[in-house]
Amino acid sequence: MKRTAFIAFLLSISFFSCGKKSDVVELQNWNFGGRPKLIEFLRQRVYSFEKIHPGIRVTNNDKSWNMIREILYADFSAGAGPDVMNTHSNFAAEFGEAGFYYPINKFPDFEQVKQWYVPHLLESTRYKDNYYGLPSSAIAFVLCCNKELFDGEGLTPPKTWSQFREAAKRLTKDADGDGEVDQYGLVLMGGDKGGFAYRMIPFFFKAGVNVMSEDLTKIEFNAPMGVAALKLMADMYQIDHSITPGFLAYTHSEINDLFCSNKAAMSIEGPWFRGMVDDKSPGKDMYVVPVPVPDNMIAQYDTAPTLQDMVMYSINAHSKHLNEAWELLKHLRNEEADMFWITQDLGATATTKHALSSSEARNVKDIQLYINELNHARPWPPHPSMVAIVSNVFTPYCQKAIIGELTPNAALDQAAKEAQEIIDEKK
């Protein structure tokens, strides 16, 4: 009898404890990409958030950067997905228009938070009248030159297209004397469709070419100077043979390997590249300079726009804990957090006025170049179909032109035609 009563007592305790709802709010934070230092920083940042918010528990999940759109679209369409996530700011248009991102300007203290950021960097997270994220890391695409190879040839980093092409030719050679070319002037990222476009379009921007009209109704990247920019790459690949022959398969890993092993002299990269190279080949140095401009635009070398990319932290519009997600977002991206982009090499440029004007910032290598480039840089146009156009239309046609399957003019005209059809369907 006593045993039966004791079991009943235990079962009653179990029933009431299972039935009791936890007061702890659980948030899902999905992190896409990033170097190991950044991933560890984010974990520590979440840990510090939980310490000051004991009623909130955050689960971190690391995801592939190359699968952002596919993963989120599948989850968002099903009414699921994380509470907080980091993505390209380009997704503000696509996911904001679709109702997947929550407009953070609806939070009462947004105007106060807004003051943390350099205004034109924050604008990258805006689509129409709403802001869909807080800037995480600013990126301007620049030209990285292998210092050892350039110094060995007595070359200085190129400023114009003709200097760029000539430097690439001189740096393409049989370095070990076995009768085969094993060193190339330029390596391109062709194995990542978005990554390729992000390295191609700076040449268009530097030449004054628009991707779309200002009212976002007409594709314009097939302008004459856009054709000239693509022809430059096609001539370097087909005539000079100064671009690595296997570039169509290359991602970050291959580019880093080729640069560090002196198989490639130049690459179009961002602020993460110096750290990547140093991780693989400690002490290896590089020249980091603006992307070259057309010869007749040399006077605009320091002011012609490159591509500005931005990573932002956003909130799922269907999150059940919007206010708690906003508190996490602010903790991940406040002025204190942004200082880590200055004091540690996390692979991008800070975005707050406090961090960029700090005394510590003056000691960061290349930061003045990146600040200057960001002051003039332009993002991809804020159109909901832009990400799809960049990866699925612009990239494949540019690649066909470079390897000789189409002429640059024909490639861009066909790309513009298909892109325009996509734009017209969205009207």
28 and 118 co-located in one domain? yes
The answer to whether position 252 is within a domain reads yes
Residue 15 lies in a domain: no
Determine the structural domain holding residue 360 and report its residue range.
23-132+310-376
For residue 20, pLDDT over 60 is answered with no
The answer to whether residues 256 and 318 belong to one domain is no
Is there a single domain that holds both residue 161 and residue 102? no
Note whether 279 and 355 are same-domain residues.
no
**Residue 331 domain flag:** yes
Residue 285 and residue 216 share a domain: yes
Please tell me whether residues 281 and 371 are part of one structural domain.
no
Q: Is 187 within 8 Å of 250 (Cβ atoms)? A: yes
Confirm whether 124 is domain-assigned.
Answer: yes
Tell me which amino acid residue 100 is: F
- Residue range 55-88, pLDDT digits in tens: 999 999 988 877 888 888 889 888 889 999 999 8
pLDDT of residue 54: 94
Give dist(CA 90, CA 261) in Å, integer: 34
Asked whether the predicted pLDDT for residue 151 surpasses 50, the reply is: yes
Whether residue 10 lies inside any domain: the answer is no
- Find the angle CA(54)-CA(56)-CA(61) to the nearest 5 degrees: 125
Q: pLDDT tens-digit profile of 228-257?
A: 999 999 999 999 999 999 999 999 999 999
Q: Are residues 180 and 95 in the same domain?
A: no
pLDDT in tens, 320-367: 999 999 999 999 999 999 999 999 988 889 999 999 999 999 999 999
Question: Is residue 359 a part of any domain in this protein?
Answer: yes
What angle do the packed helices 395-403 and 193-206 form, to 10 degrees? 80
Question: What percent of the chain clears pLDDT 70, i.e. is strictly above it?
Answer: 94
Task: Please provide the distance, in angstroms rounded to a whole number, between the alpha carbons at the two ends of the chain.
Answer: 77
CATH number, position 358: 3.40.190.10
Average pLDDT over the chain, rounded to an integer = 93
What's residue 23's pLDDT?
85
280, 151: one domain: yes
In-domain check, residue 369 = yes
**Domain identity same for 338 and 391:** no
Q: How far apart are CA 419 and CA 409, in angstroms?
A: 15
Torsions phi, psi for 21 (to 5 deg): -80, 140
Per-residue model confidence as pLDDT tens digits over 79-138: 889 999 999 898 999 999 999 999 999 999 999 999 999 999 999 999 999 999 999 999
Which DSSP letter does residue 240 get?
Answer: I
Residue partners of 419: CB distance under 8 A and separation at least 6: 219, 221, 389, 393, 394
| Single pTM value for the model | 0.90
Whether 422 is covered by a domain: the verdict is yes
Same-domain check for residues 316 and 254:
no
pLDDT band at 11 (very low <50, low <70, confident <90, very high): very low
Which residue, 141, 143, 164, 145, is CA-closest to 229?
164
When divided into structural domains, the chain yields a total of 2
For residues 300 and 337, membership in a common domain is answered with no
Here the tokens at position 415 are 């790309």
221 and 286 assigned to the same domain: yes
- Of 376, 395, 418, the residue that ends a domain is 376
Report the pLDDT value the prediction gives residue 427, as an integer from 0 to 100. Answer: 63
